[in-house]
Structure 1
């Protein structure tokens, strides 16, 4: 008659793993589920299902054209390595001006010329995005300038106060010691 002997791991760690491996594997499945709501919220935001961004700024009239403007995230500017601090904005052109607008630009402070118009909006006219650098010396009463260039060569500009466009950026500037 033969005896059956179950081999037990020799080390304490081996015994722990042998006893708890099932429970640890269940944890490996359950922990990512805790991050799923944020993942789905971000996916909805990037797809455009939840609007242009976390904070809608509203309609901005730029000459004969208009666009919807929104902050991508309702938070302070994020550091981006040597580029400094960056803030993302999204925009959507009005239905009647989609065929007339060639390019859109965004900048803090009034542009001196079209060559210094700021960062260009990228993407489709229905959902354009721009990542704007926030200069170190930005004042709390600064303005966000929007420049639209038409296919006919015309250029129109409009500005909105930065406090209206991004209150989180104004709070961040105040924390860093910006003066009005």
Structure 2
């Protein structure tokens, strides 16, 4: 039998570096995500409702015989949302007396011509509803935010608040955009 001695090649510099520092790199892979945990928990509390309806509460708005409490989900300018353009999220809660009377609640910039053009519909329970509204860049900063509520009895009631009161950062963003022809 022929016996040959096998010679092990010397490890490359990259291999030596990896074996020397792999523990420290793995520790970093655990610690880096921990730095993002406070923002994660703040966002989770916001979406659960532990921090109220949103980051900026607009207040209670009377709409016919009912009342609705509005809030901006985030106190920031409209965010780009792909092909939709710029969007803004609003949250709302119905008054305890009118939760069973209201069938649908809508939100729109500018007065709706009919119930078919009432705007985006709020989704969720009456305790916490949400709506994502498209904000065109050519919107007049002096426009009003219209709330349309439809009752189970067929009645429709509307109310408006100035966009400046509803979302000052959106108005500042619109002023920066400028009105396009």
TM tier, smaller: over 0.9
Matches within 5 A, 1:145-160: 145-160=146-161
Count of paired positions = 173
Q: Which residues in structure 2 correspond to 1:116-131 (within 5 Å)?
A: 116-131=117-132
The corresponding residue for 1:3 is none
Shift of 1:81: 1.5
How far off is 1:178 after superposition? Answer: 3.7
Question: Paired residue for 2:70?
Answer: 69
Q: Give deviations 1:12-69, integer Å, cap 9, x for gaps.
A: 1111110011111111111111000000000000000000001000001000000110
User: Does structure 2 retain, via aligned residues, the 8 Å contact 1:8–1:15?
Assistant: no
Once the two structures are superposed, residues 115-150 of structure 1 have per-residue CA deviations (whole angstroms, 9 ceiling, x without a partner) of 000000000110000000112320110100000000
Conserved? CA contact 1:148–1:157, under 8 Å: yes
CA distance in structure 2 between the partners assigned to 1:155 and 1:115 by the alignment: 12
CA distance in 1, matches of 2:81, 2:30: 33
CA distance in 2, matches of 1:30, 1:69: 39
Q: Deviations over 1:66-109 (max 9, x none)?
A: 01100011111111111111100000000000010000000000
Give runs of aligned pairs for residues 4-83 of structure 1, distance below 5 A: 10-83=11-84
Q: What's the TM-score once normalised by structure 1's chain length? A: 0.93
Partner SS state of residue 98, structure 2: coil
Counterpart for residue 112 of structure 1: 113
How high is the TM-score relative to the length of structure 2?
Answer: 0.92
Tell me, in whole angstroms, the C-alpha distance in 1 between the residues paired with 2:88 and 2:103. Answer: 23
The correspondence of residues 84-95 of structure 1 with structure 2, limited to 5 A, is 84-95=85-96
Mind listing any 5+ residue stretches in structure 2 that lack a counterpart? Answer: 1-7
Change (3 A) 1:87 1:9: farther
Q: Contact 1:9 / 1:15 at 8 angstroms: preserved in 2?
A: no
Compare CA radii of gyration and give the structure with the larger one: 2
Q: Which moved more, 1:77-86 or 1:120-129?
A: 77-86
